[in-house]
Amino acid sequence: MNKILLIIEREFLSRVKKKSFLIMTVLGPILFAGITIIPTWLAMRDSTQTTVSVLDKSGLFAKRLKSNKETVFVSIDGSEDKAKQNLMKAGEHQMLLVIGETNGNTSPDIRIFSESNPSLDLVHSIEGQINSELKNVQLKSSGIDPALVEKIKPDVDIKTTVLNDEGEKEGSSAAATIVGFGAGFLIYIFIFLYGSQVMTGVMEEKTNRVVEVIISSVRPFELMLGKIVGVAMVGLAQFLLWMILSYGITTVAGTIMASQTGKQQTIEVAGDPEASKEMKKKMGKSGILKELQNVNLVSVVMYFMFYFLGGYLLYSAMFAAVGAAVDNQQDAQQFMLPITIPIIGAIVMAQFIIKDPNSNLAFWMSVIPFTSPIIMMIRIPFEPPFWQILLSMVSLILGFLGTTWMAGKIYRVGILMYGKKVSYKELWKWMRY
Amino acid sequence: MTPIIQTQNLVKRYGTYTALDQVSVSIPKGSIFGLLGPNGAGKTSLIRIITQITAPDEGTVLFDGKPLVPADVARIGYLPEERGLYKKAKVGEQLLYFAQLKGMSKAEALEKTKKWFIRLDIKDWWNKNVEELSKGMAQKVQFVATVLHEPSFIILDEPFSGFDPVNSDVIRDEILRLHDQGSTILFSTHRMDTVEELCSHVVLIDKAKKVLDGSTKDIRNQFKTHRYSVETKEPINFSEFPWQPETMNIEKEECYASSFKLVDGQSPNELVADVIQNAEILGFREEMPSFHDIFVQVVSREPEAV
């Protein structure tokens, strides 16, 4: 037992001390934070003002277009050709908006001339403003008061409610989808990342021939188990560091940007009244954020830890067996296939499972230990019946005990077998030695 | 005295292939024991069973009179033929790790490692990665790793390969020192000069079976050719000589050499007496078989397995 601890310690420290671990640990959260922060930051930074000269031949819209921090609309007169010439001379951040003739009942021909392609946001914003103006005109000409229409705005919002033994609870399908898929995907990544670390570790020891020195001191099974557990701890440590760092970075960056971000949103809202209303509705009343509170995050994290460890143990034992059976990376490929098929299959099926998390397919895939770490994790936020979770957990534990036992047998023979290209038949023989 | 290692009828099979077939070997305590055999004879299989890397299919191993138990790994040191160290780990840390795996405490391992670094004059290697070392340097580190935990039984598989003559002597002296301190040494080697120089006992394994076993002295006697060589100042006149020579008056720089094969009942003294009457004797000795000859003779006379 003492020796296993020694092996775990070495496997853990030798990996954590590596530069690549440090780089991954620091880069991970920065990348994560980057994905969330940089778009906001870019939007904020890009506040150069664009002047849009509006040549409105219909005379209906020019005064209605609202200027904001980024875009200033200036109404101009004269011929289109002259306006174009002026635009050429004007230089950067200048655009020409030409609105064709219309009486309001037909859509005018609208063109934007600019030096480079205008941003999609700007185009949408102008489209939105002109559409709503056209609507007003058309409503008026049909004898309807636009103010009345504005008043009559039914607002239906379906609330999903989970009704079970524990009583009623407000549902959270959207949030559950996000949480479930995220957790399942993380497990997928972790199994591959750390499973292959176990494999290369075993292969390194085998090709270095260190293994013979070590197994003259400890049992091969102890060495394999020590390595698997050591790498698992590296994974957990990295995961925890990522959580802490990501939280730290996003919080700090969020605070810094808070005030400016606030302004940013009002600008967008001003740009397109229809869209902003939609957004407010999402964010507020039945928003994802509110739904997230209904997902039991603590239990999700607990289950995540279990399925992460269980899935990792199940697969890393097989990765260790592959590493022991082969002499080099190329030979490893053929044995990787049967290991990777169920796990890739699980992540591919995830999108179907998430649409119908209580289907038969979902049940079976979340009970079979080779797919359960990912599939059950996807179902967890949808709160499947407890007996199914229990069954899945028990079968996962039995599953990894089984693969570890089998892998141990292959490992024991494989690490001492050099210069031999092994086949599946050979592996089967080793298991029965 | 109980032998330090005693294997009884060991059988090891890999599928249909038999690597060891009823091998019983007894290694006397305090001996330097040579394990000989052609490639693929089963030497490594035997060593792996003694070091508990693999288990035999049949038979038992007694260590110091008692059946081998996992705790015995602490008393055995093993230098495999294929040397291996962690390439990206520091020499010092690595040695501490190996010693601790053998059951030493960290403090004890540290103290012992330092002693060895001073003894072999490799102090400045402590913080080097193994990949920075030359092959010979890595071999030295590996040797230290083998004996660091002061095992009473040391298994060395081709211990001198990869060493230059100077370092080879350093390692040989260290092995002899450990032997003097009471360790039993098992050499597995193809170098017959090592066997002749160092070993007091040998076992020869061929095709999974033990074919020769005994002290080096006994085995030499067993393989005696009863051939004697005589060096004389002037050629022997064989026309009237009562003994039938094998070789006749081969001219050397300062003498003539002849050899005779004696059969039962003939004594070398009688031969000498007859030679004296014929010529002046400069030298007379019995031609002892070399282990090289014995090895070749035993291994090649074995009929192919049927």
B89–A212 C-beta distance less than 8 A: no
Shortest CB distance from B101 goes to which of A209, A218, A433?
A218
Test mutation, B86, B149, B155, B188, chain A, max A CBs within 10 A: B86
Q: Does A127 or B185 have the greater pLDDT score?
A: B185
Q: How confident is the model at residue B95 (pLDDT cuts 50, 70, 90)?
A: very high
Taking contacts as CB-CB distances below 8 angstroms, the residues of chain A near B85 are 208, 210, 213
On chain A, the residues whose CB falls within 8 A of the CB of B102 are 217
Given the DSSP bridges, would you call strands B58-63 and B5-14 parallel, antiparallel or unpaired?
A: antiparallel
Whether A97 and A54 have beta carbons less than 8 Å apart is answered as yes
Q: How many CB atoms lie within 10 A of CB A373?
A: 32
Exposed, middle or buried by CB within 10 Å (0-12, 13-18, 19+), for B297?
Answer: exposed
- Interface with chain B: mutation pick from A6, A21, A206, A217, highest number of B CBs within 10 Å: A217
Q: Report the candidate in B108, B109, B86 with the shortest Cα–Cα distance to residue B99.
A: B109
With contacts defined as CB-CB under 8 Å, which chain B residues touch A215?
53
CA pair distance B149, A264, nearest whole angstrom = 70
Which one of B12, B47, B53, B127 would you mutate to disrupt binding with A, by most A Cβ within 10 Å of its Cβ? B53
SS (H, E, C) chain B: CCCCEEEEEEEEEECCEEEEEEEEEEECCCCEEEEECCCCCCHHHHHHHHCCCCCCCEEEEEECCEECCHHHHHHEEEECCCCCCCCCCEHHHHHHHHHHHCCCCHHHHHHHHHHHHHHCCCHHHCCCEHHHCCHHHHHHHHHHHHHCCCCCEEEEECCCCCCCHHHHHHHHHHHHHHHHCCCEEEEECCCHHHHHHHCCEEEEEECCEEEEEEEHHHHHHHCCCCEEEEEECCCCCHHHCCCCEEEEEEECCCCEEEEEECCCCCCHHHHHHHHHHHCCEEEEEECCCCHHHHHHHHHHHCCCCC
Both tokens of A301, joined, read: 């994290």
In chain B, what percentage of residues exceed pLDDT 90? 36
pLDDT, residue B60, reads 92
Contact A416 B70 (CB under 8 A): no
| pTM confidence score | 0.73
Domain spans, chain A: 2-41+173-432, 47-142
The H or E element spanning position A54 is strand A50-56
Residue B55 near chain A (CB below 8 Å): no
Is residue B20 a contact partner of residue B208, using CB atoms and an 8 Å limit?
A: yes
DSSP state of A117: P
CA atoms within 13 A on the CB side of A124: 12
For the cut 80, the answer to whether the pLDDT of residue A162 exceeds it is no
Q: Do the strands B58-63 and B66-67 form a parallel or antiparallel pair, or are they unpaired? A: antiparallel
User: pLDDT confidence of B183, banded at 50, 70, 90?
Assistant: very high
**Taking a C-beta distance cutoff of 8 angstroms, is the pair A68, A267 a contact?**
yes
pLDDT tens readout for residues A200-242: 999 988 888 888 888 888 888 899 999 999 999 998 898 888 8
Q: Running DSSP on this structure, what letter comes out for residue A223?
A: H
Contact A170, A160 (CB under 8 A): yes
Segment A64-77 mean pLDDT: 80
Return d(Cα A239, Cα A298) in angstroms, integer.
16
Instruction: Find, in chain B, the residue whose alpha carbon is nearest to that of A3.
Output: B101
Yes or no: say if B135 and B162 are a contact pair by the CB < 8 Å rule.
yes
Residues from chain B contacting residue A433 (CB–CB below 8 Å): 14
Scanning B140-159 for CB atoms below 8 A from A yields 142, 145
What is the tens place of the pLDDT at every residue in B223-280? 888 888 888 888 887 877 888 888 888 888 888 888 888 887 788 888 888 888 888 8
pLDDT of residue A20: 86
DSSP assignments along A252-290, one per residue: HHHHHHHHHHHHHHHHHHHH-HHHHHHHHHHHTTT-HHH
Q: Which CATH superfamily is domain A47-142 in?
A: Periplasmic binding protein-like II (3.40.190.10)
Contacts of A14 in chain B (CB under 8 A): 86, 88-89
Mutate to test the interface with B, among A212, A218, A227, A426 (most CBs of B within 10 A): A212
Cβ separation of B53 and A416 shorter than 8 Å? yes
Q: Of A10, A16, A216, which to mutate for an interface test with B (greatest number of B Cβ within 10 Å)? A: A216
Q: Could you give the CA distance from residue B112 to residue B151 in angstroms, rounded to a whole number?
A: 13
> In the β-sheet with B32-36, what is the strand arrangement from edge to edge?
B76-79, B153-157, B184-188, B32-36, B201-206, B209-215
Quickly state the pLDDT bin for B306 (edges 50, 70, 90).
Answer: very low
A3 interaction partners in chain B (CB closer than 8 Å): 101, 103
Give the C-alpha distances (Å, rounded to integers) separating A121 from A68, A72, A73, A184, A263: 13, 14, 15, 34, 17
Partners of residue A220 in chain B, C-beta under 8 Å: 53
CA distance to A215, B78, B116, B126, per residue, from B95 (Å): 15, 14, 11, 9
Q: What mean pLDDT do residues A121-140 have? A: 84
Q: Do A209 and B83 touch (CB under 8 A)?
A: yes
- Give chain B positions within 8 Å (CB) of A7: 101
CA distance B84 to B100: 17
Chain A residues lying within 8 Å of B135, measured CB to CB: none
Size of interface A-B (CB pairs under 8 A): 60
The pLDDT, as a whole number, for residue A268 is 44
Which residues does A contribute to its contact with B (CB < 8 Å)?
Answer: 3, 6-7, 10, 14, 205, 208-220, 416, 418, 429, 433
Q: Is A129 helix (H, G, I), strand (E, B) or coil?
A: helix
Going by pLDDT thresholds of 50, 70 and 90, the confidence category of residue A164 is: low
* Kind plus residue range of the DSSP H or E element containing A71: strand A71-75
Q: What average pLDDT score do residues A408-414 get? A: 87
Q: In the structure, what pLDDT confidence band is assigned to residue A271 with cuts at 50, 70 and 90?
A: very low
- Cα dihedral across residues A283, A284, A289, A292: positive or negative: negative
Q: Which contiguous run of DSSP H or E holds residue A161?
A: strand A161-164
B171, B163 Cβ separation under 8 angstroms: yes
The nearest alpha carbon in chain B to A416 belongs to B53
Nearest residue in chain B measured CA to CA from A432: B15
Which of A12, A210, A227, A426 should one mutate to test binding to chain B, selecting the residue with the greatest count of B CBs within 10 A?
A210
Q: Report in angstroms the alpha-carbon separations of A177 from A174, A291, A320, A374, B235.
A: 5, 11, 33, 13, 107
Instruction: Name the token pair of B239.
Output: 């026309």
* Residue of B84, B87, B89 lying closest to A212 (CB–CB): B84
Per the CB < 8 Å rule, is B84 touching A3? Answer: no
The DSSP call for residue A49 is: -
Residue B184 clears pLDDT 90, i.e. is over it: yes
Of B70, B88, B101, the CB nearest to A6: B101
Note whether B287 and B229 are within 8 A (CB).
yes
Give the C-alpha separation, B123 to B117, whole Å. 5
Inter-chain touch B52–A216, beta carbons under 8 Å: yes
Residues B106-135 have a mean pLDDT of: 90
Q: Quick check: A217 and B53 CB within 8 A?
A: no
In chain B, residues with a C-beta closer than 8 Å to the C-beta of A212 are: 53, 78, 80, 82, 84
Flag the least confident range among A143-152, B168-177, B212-221, B224-233.
A143-152
Under 8 Å between Cβ of A25 and A245: yes
Instruction: Closest CB to B100: pick one of A6, A209, A213.
Output: A6
As a whole number of angstroms, the distance between CA B191 and CA B162 comes to 13
- Cβ atoms of A55 and A87 within 8 Å: the answer is no
- Find the CB nearest B15 among A10, A210, A429: A429
Q: How large is the average pLDDT for residues A416-424? A: 77
**CA gap B9, B24 in Å, rounded:** 5
